[in-house]
């Protein structure tokens, strides 16, 4: 990271967990689950011979349709362990052929299309940022929890062996799902965004935190409201409510999600947690080596067969 740190617009302390955190999320999830899951899927012709890909959708926050790619190893016997997978800021669900590691490894994989992201759209960090009940990420976290429900509804999936995994924004979402969905066997967050907001806002030199920094510099009267909104979705808050073993990684030269933010989440994590830091690495963290480590973690946790 270059230059001097930006002003501490949210202060220097980590955000406290809101007193109504449990009720806030219980209400959000209850509202979503009043709508039938209505899981739909259609095969996608990808030309692959060893992986089946399906275009899936289900009802998420407020009953809205949430899409994703479901990937299954073609040659399968019995119910499979599964990963629910979340991508980075603006990426959506990417292409049906992207990121085939997990089904090739023998796992079911559901890649969630983060609401309104992908294509020409980027991220939506500022949407509803000064109201916790209109916050963009309130809906996204509910969609992500419902993605776990969708996996558990599939005959091909062993509902007792599901892990959440994500990079950057997806890492922050994975941490959130780990707090909201009991019974996961692991949560893997690579260079998680939405984490330790006061640190990220102050230290980041690139990426989405700069959107929020500019907003707060223009609207200093909204700092307290923004802090309250972020406190419900901050990866540190999620880590304080973790129920599954966690694996968190960062690059020590990351100027988008500075390593201090991932470190704060690991320090707050209430369950067993491993922090892997990669010297010299940027936002890619350990890249292929990190993925190799994630695969080893998933094989170990899935072999254990139940949540910790």
Neighbours of 225 (CB within 10 A): 14
* Candidate list 149, 249, 283, 290, residue with the active-site label: 283
SS3 content of the chain, % helix, strand, coil (to 5): 35, 20, 40
Cα of 200 vs its chain's centroid, Å: 17
Active site includes 67? no
CB–CB of 144/177 below 8 Å?
yes
Q: Tokens 């899951």 belong to which residue?
A: 37
In a 13 Å sphere around the CA of 51, the CA atoms on its Cβ side amount to 23
* Beta bridge partner(s), residue 53: 44, 71
How deeply is 240 buried, as exposed, middle or buried, from its count of CB atoms within 10 A (0-12, 13-18, 19+)? middle
* Candidate list 143, 234, 250, 254, residue with the active-site label: 254
Active site includes 283? yes
Active site includes 254? yes
* Candidate list 168, 238, 250, 255, residue with the active-site label: 168
- The set of catalytic residues is 168, 254, 283
């Amino acid at each position: 990271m270059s230059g001097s740190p930006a002003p501490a617009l949210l202060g220097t302390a980590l955000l406290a967990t809101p007193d109504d955190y449990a009720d806030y999320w219980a209400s959000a999830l209850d509202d979503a689950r009043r709508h039938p899951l209505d899981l739909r899927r259609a095969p996608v012709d990808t030309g692959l011979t060893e992986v089946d890909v399906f275009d899936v959708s289900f009802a998420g926050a407020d009953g809205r349709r949430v899409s994703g790619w479901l990937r299954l190893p073609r040659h399968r016997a019995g119910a499979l362990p599964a990963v629910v997978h979340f991508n980075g800021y603006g990426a959506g669900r990417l292409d049906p052929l992207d990121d085939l590691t997990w089904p090739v490894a023998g796992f079911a994989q559901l890649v969630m299309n983060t609401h309104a992201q992908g294509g020409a759209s980027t991220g939506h960090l500022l949407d509803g940022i000064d109201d916790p009940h209109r916050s963009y990420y309130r809906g996204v976290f509910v969609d992500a929890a419902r993605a776990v429900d969708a996996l558990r509804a599939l005959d091909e999936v062993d509902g007792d062996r599901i892990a959440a995994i994500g990079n950057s924004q997806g890492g922050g979402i994975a941490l959130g799902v780990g707090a909201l969905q009991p019974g996961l066997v692991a949560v893997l967050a690579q260079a998680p965004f939405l984490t330790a907001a006061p640190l990220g806002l102050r230290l980041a030199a690139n990426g989405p935190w700069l959107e929020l920094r500019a907003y707060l510099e223009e609207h200093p009267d909204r700092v307290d409201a923004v802090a309250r909104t972020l406190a419900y979705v901050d990866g540190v808050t999620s880590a304080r409510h973790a129920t599954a073993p966690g694996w968190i990684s960062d690059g020590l030269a990351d100027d988008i999600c500075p390593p201090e933010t991932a470190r704060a989440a690991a320090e707050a994590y209430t369950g067993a947690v491993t922090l892997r830091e990669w010297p010299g690495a940027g936002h890619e963290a350990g890249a292929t080596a990190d993925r190799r480590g994630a695969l080893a973690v998933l094989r170990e946790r899935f072999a254990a067969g139940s949540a910790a």
